[in-house]
């Protein structure tokens, strides 16, 4: 009975929460000539609050007199830019896939997916990977339809994200493989309701109040009572760092105990090893497992007997004292 109920719930989620946005992209290859066209036939359907929209920033992409090119040159091509917006009050999980219309066809008139390179990046960047379509994982984007999964992300309520999509012919494509052949596909964006899982950096910030340092970083040693999370600017935005006699920055990972040093402006988290846990204790961060021999860097009195690293004064390895 429970299995039947679960199946019913699964179908309800599948049919009730799926939002599909279709964007037609055509690519023709004729004697080293490619044309990629974005039409204006977006279709959005939903039976719930999940009214997620796709807005095209570039209505058409045309690459004239093109030929198989390197990834470096492919990333220089004009992208198809689009924006996804979550118009609801709840968090949604988004899967962006590229459906190749002729993926299963044996007709030699069509260009095979293993000759098409793709890159999906955050708008204005090239932070995505440039990969052959056929090497990407396939996912079910609609009933009896599979697409190459380009990216899985999430949208908070009212949040919008913009992307640049580029397609080009792989540099290894030969005349025989690509001459006078056509490739056609479409972007399918699937959206489902999901529970938001905060990132490690967001969890740290949620559990700590950001305060101004009592002493001047880099100019004075922390006082005995100073224990706080402070902020400063870095190359990526605002970063946060623990300063002083902090006791709530321990984290267990890989059966070792680490201490959180800093959250970078890009959301990265810097850790330093606190307990190497060579004794294989079940809880390496427990106070009972703290000892002079527990840490990766060991010392006797005020003299270190083992080096933590050879670049003790390099900011790549240490945070603010």
The residue written with tokens 């689009």 in the block is 82
* Domain spans of the chain, in order of start: 2-193, 200-304
Give the model's pLDDT for residue 192. 83
3-state helix, strand, coil in the chain (%, to 5): 10, 40, 45
- Contact by Cβ (8 Å): 260, 242: yes
Query: Residues in the chain with pLDDT < 70?
Result: 1-66, 291-321
Give the model's pLDDT for residue 73. 92
pTM of structure: 0.62
Give the model's pLDDT for residue 309. 53
Give the CB-side neighbour count of residue 17, counting CA atoms within 13 A. Answer: 17
Structure letter (DSSP) for residue 247: -
Give the model's pLDDT for residue 211. 93
Give the model's pLDDT for residue 77. 87
228, 168, 218, 250: which is closest to 318 by C-alpha?
218
The Cα–Cα gap between 291 and 279 comes to 11
Biggest CA–CA distance in the chain, Å, is 77
Give the model's pLDDT for residue 133. 94
Give the model's pLDDT for residue 305. 55
The residue written with tokens 């000759």 in the block is 115
Give the model's pLDDT for residue 54. 62
The Cα–Cα gap between 19 and 318 comes to 46
Give the model's pLDDT for residue 294. 56
Query: Which two structure tokens, joined as six digits, stand for 73?
Result: 């040159």
């Amino acid at each position: 009975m429970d299995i039947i109920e679960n199946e019913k719930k699964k179908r309800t989620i599948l049919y009730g929460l799926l939002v599909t946005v279709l964007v037609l992209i055509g690519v023709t290859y004729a004697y080293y000539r490619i044309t990629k066209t974005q039409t204006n036939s977006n279709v959005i359907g939903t039976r719930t609050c999940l009214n997620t929209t796709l807005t095209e920033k570039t209505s058409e992409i045309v690459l004239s007199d093109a030929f198989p090119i390197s990834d470096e040159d492919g990333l220089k091509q004009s992208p198809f830019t689009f924006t996804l917006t979550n118009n609801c009050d709840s968090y949604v999980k988004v899967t962006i896939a590229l459906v190749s219309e002729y993926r299963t066809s044996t007709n030699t008139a069509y260009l095979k997916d293993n000759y098409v390179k793709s890159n999906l990046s955050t708008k204005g960047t090239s932070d995505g990977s440039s990969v052959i379509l056929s090497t990407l994982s396939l996912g079910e984007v609609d009933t009896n339809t599979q697409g190459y999964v380009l990216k899985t992300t999430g949208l908070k309520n009212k949040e919008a994200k913009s992307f640049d999509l580029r397609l080009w012919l792989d540099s290894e494509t030969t005349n025989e493989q690509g001459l006078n052949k056509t490739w056609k596909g479409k972007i399918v964006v699937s959206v489902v309701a999901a529970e938001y899982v905060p990132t490690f950096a967001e969890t740290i910030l949620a559990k700590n109040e950001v305060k101004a340092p009592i002493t001047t970083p880099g100019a004075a040693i922390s006082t005995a009572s100073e224990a706080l999370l402070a902020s400063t600017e870095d190359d990526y935005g605002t970063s946060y760092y623990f300063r002083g006699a902090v006791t709530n920055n321990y984290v267990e990972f890989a059966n070792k105990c680490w201490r959180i040093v800093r959250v970078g402006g890009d959301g990265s988290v810097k850790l330093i090893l606190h307990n190497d846990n060579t004794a294989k204790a079940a809880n390496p961060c427990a106070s009972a497992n703290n000892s002079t021999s527990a840490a990766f860097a060991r010392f006797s009195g005020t003299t270190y007997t083992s080096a933590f690293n050879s670049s003790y004064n390099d900011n790549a390895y240490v945070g603010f004292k």
